[in-house]
């Protein structure tokens, strides 16, 4: 298993997109820094210059190509027969993307700290009490940890779609739609008062986890769930979608 | 071949070294190398990196690279490789880590003459060291040069499974006979009820009759000019067997 993960990380590390994305992340964060209003300085630090949306975007593309590169390069057969079983293939790809996800979040924190002292010289102290009566540095770490869960939920969906649909263009499009329009779909689903009790648990709603952590008052009206409920919901959906994705992968003919 | 590698659903049982292979348990394949359909090559990696991805020993990797003559381009990105270069890399991947069984599907695809000879040598070298090869190919003449056993499959059924020596005997069942007087020889054969057929300027006879024919001709003082086995070509034999099988 460790060997398979190493192989996946080796492939990931040798793809240009992996490193270009990491540099692009910095530019997008700088862009956000310039675009944000003066009064959102604390929020910008807590949410690491809105890196969560950019990281999501990067992970969808890298994640969707993680399977499609195997199909396109005829490598899937070699990969499968050289692995002990199919779960090893699926899980090692998943864990490699998870490690990349962690790397991007650590990088975003590093970029945030660097930008705070260089381009956007901010006078906000890291110990200033901000969201949830916690210092900003704690907000930043919590938001990043929570965002790892949100992004992994999307990655789980991307993996599921990759096994279902052979075209990575469609997988990327659908995944981005879920990520960025899921909130709209979810609010439509929860509009009818009668069904709110059930519909608030729809998977699209869970995608709001990071956003709600940063803007609780605004988002709780549409999600109808607390942060903890969203977190638990996300974790449960990750397990469900992972199992469904793996079962599809197992049944798939190559 | 895909079934042996546990890549397809199947009924029955497959065992390699007493360990069974199933669609979802490939532990028995740890000493198996394969090149199936197309070589599995990541274009964003160099040839060397493609090998490093699976190689357990650097020395083994370097040995394969030099034997297959890939040194000059092995450190270039493989997206620029020609069909033959990719094929050689695919064969190298299959031969990495000293496998006990190697499965090759159309291994000579896209290879030039030099590369074909190099691959043939490599197959023989590995086979001499104890590696078993299962090769499928439509180019029978190429197979003929490396095989030691023939398995013919028609419509999913094994119709021939023989050592090459036995299989070759089929090709020597007929003999060509030229005498100083073929007309007289034919009469002698007829009188002794020996089957023959007349081709342009020679007679074709069955191999089991050649001693009797020699005796009879000697008795009638007819000299032999030539008596030699007719080597049917491999393709022809395969076609004949398949025709017979299909009725």
Q: How many CB atoms lie within 10 A of CB A26?
A: 18
Instruction: Identify the residue among B40, B55, B101, B106 best suited for mutation to test binding to A, counting A beta carbons within 10 A and taking the highest.
Output: B40
Question: What does the block give as tokens for B169?
Answer: 């005997």
* CA A254 – CA B38 distance, rounded (Å): 13
Q: What is the pLDDT of residue A236?
A: 95
* CA B39 – CA B230 distance, rounded (Å): 40
Task: State the complex-level ipTM.
Answer: 0.82
User: In this model, does residue B169 exceed pLDDT 80?
Assistant: no
Percent of chain B with pLDDT over 90: 13
- Cα of B208 to nearest chain A Cα, Å: 49
**Interchain pair B24, A77: CB under 8 A:** no
- Cα of B33 to nearest chain A Cα, Å: 8
Give the DSSP letter of residue A129: B
Tens-digit pLDDT profile for residues A36-87: 777 777 777 778 888 888 999 899 999 988 888 888 888 888 888 888 888 9
**Interchain pair B6, A78: CB under 8 A:** no
Pairing of β B203-206 and β B174-179: antiparallel
Between B27, B36, B42, which is nearest A73 by CB? B42
* CA A218 – CA A55 distance, rounded (Å): 22
- Cα of A75 to nearest chain B Cα, Å: 4
Q: Comparing A13 with B200, which gets the higher pLDDT? A: A13
A85 touches chain B (CB under 8 A): yes
pTM higher than 0.90 for the full model?
no
A44-53, A193-202, A218-227, B34-43: range with lowest mean pLDDT: A193-202
Domain that holds residue A65: 2-251
- Cα of A26 to nearest chain B Cα, Å: 24
Q: In chain B, which segments carry CATH 3.30.70.100?
A: 173-230
- Cα of B212 to nearest chain A Cα, Å: 58
Between B41, B52, B54, which is nearest A73 by CB? B41
Cα→Cα distances A41→A55, A91, A121, A147, Å: 20, 39, 10, 20
In this structure, the dihedral spanned by the alpha carbons of residues A222, A225, A226 and A232, taken in order and rounded to 10 degrees, is -130
Question: What does the block give as tokens for A179?
Answer: 């990520």
Task: Assess if CATH 3.40.50.300 describes domain B14-147.
Answer: yes
Give the pLDDT band of residue B172 (cuts 50, 70, 90): low
By CA distance, what is A251's nearest residue in B?
B9
Q: In chain B, which segments carry CATH 3.40.50.300?
A: 14-147
Q: What is the pLDDT of residue B171?
A: 64
Q: Which fold has domain B173-230?
A: Alpha-Beta Plaits (3.30.70)
* CA A191 – CA A222 distance, rounded (Å): 9
User: In this model, does residue A5 exceed pLDDT 90?
Assistant: yes
Give the pLDDT band of residue B170 (cuts 50, 70, 90): low
Give the DSSP letter of residue B228: E
By CA distance, what is A76's nearest residue in B?
B40
What SS3 class is residue B16?
strand
Size of interface A-B (CB pairs under 8 A): 66
A7 touches chain B (CB under 8 A): yes
What SS3 class is residue B31?
helix
Cα→Cα distances A111→A27, A42, A62, A114, B247, Å: 10, 15, 21, 5, 76
What SS3 class is residue A126?
coil
* CA B53 – CA A83 distance, rounded (Å): 13
**Interchain pair B40, A78: CB under 8 A:** yes
């Amino acid at each position: 298993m460790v060997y398979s993960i190493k192989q996946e990380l080796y492939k990931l590390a040798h793809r240009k997109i992996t490193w270009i994305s990491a540099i692009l992340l910095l530019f997008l964060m700088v862009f956000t820094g310039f675009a944000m209003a003066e009064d959102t300085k604390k929020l910008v630090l807590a949410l690491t210059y809105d890196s969560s949306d950019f990281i999501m975007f990067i992970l969808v593309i890298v994640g969707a190509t993680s399977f499609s590169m195997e199909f396109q390069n005829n490598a899937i057969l070699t990969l499968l027969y050289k692995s002990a079983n199919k779960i090893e293939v699926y899980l090692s790809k998943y864990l490699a993307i998870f490690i990349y996800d962690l790397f991007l979040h650590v990088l975003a924190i590093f970029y945030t700290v660097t930008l705070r002292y260089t381009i956007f010289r901010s006078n906000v102290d890291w110990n200033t009490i901000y969201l949830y009566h916690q210092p900003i540095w704690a907000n930043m770490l919590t938001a990043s940890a929570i965002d790892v869960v949100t992004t992994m939920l999307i990655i789980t969906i991307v993996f599921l779609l990759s096994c279902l649909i052979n075209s990575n263009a469609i997988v990327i499009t659908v995944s981005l739609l879920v990520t960025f329009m899921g909130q709209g779909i979810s609010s439509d689903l929860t509009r009818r008062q009668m069904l709110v009790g059930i519909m608030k648990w729809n998977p699209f709603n869970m995608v709001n986890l990071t956003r709600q952590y940063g803007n609780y008052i605004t988002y709780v009206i549409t999600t109808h769930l607390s942060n903890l409920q969203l977190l638990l919901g996300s974790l449960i959906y990750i397990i469900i979608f992972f199992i469904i994705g793996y079962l599809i992968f197992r049944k798939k003919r190559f | 071949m895909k079934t042996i590698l546990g890549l397809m659903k199947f009924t029955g049982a497959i065992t390699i070294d007493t360990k069974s292979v199933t669609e979802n348990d490939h532990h028995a394949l740890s000493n198996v190398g394969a090149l199936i359909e197309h070589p599995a090559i990541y274009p964003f990696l160099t040839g060397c990196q493609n090998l490093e991805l699976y190689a357990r020993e650097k020395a083994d990797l370097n040995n394969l690279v030099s034997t297959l003559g890939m040194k000059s381009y092995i450190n270039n990105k493989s997206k620029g490789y020609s069909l033959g270069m990719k094929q050689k890399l695919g064969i190298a991947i299959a031969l990495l880590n000293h496998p006990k069984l190697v499965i090759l599907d159309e291994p000579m695809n896209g290879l030039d003459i030099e590369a074909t000879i190099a691959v043939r040598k490599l197959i023989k070298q590995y086979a001499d060291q104890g590696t078993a090869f299962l090769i499928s190919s439509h180019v029978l003449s190429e197979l003929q040069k490396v095989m030691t056993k023939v398995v013919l499959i028609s419509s999913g059924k094994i119709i021939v499974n023989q050592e090459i020596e036995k299989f070759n005997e089929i090709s020597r069942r007929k003999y060509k006979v030229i005498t100083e007087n073929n007309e007289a020889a034919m009469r002698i054969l007829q009188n002794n009820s020996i089957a023959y057929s007349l081709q342009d300027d020679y007679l074709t006879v069955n191999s089991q009759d050649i001693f009797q024919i020699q005796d009879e001709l000697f008795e009638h003082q007819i000299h032999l000019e030539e008596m030699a086995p007719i080597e049917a070509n491999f393709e022809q034999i395969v076609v004949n067997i398949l025709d017979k099988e299909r009725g």
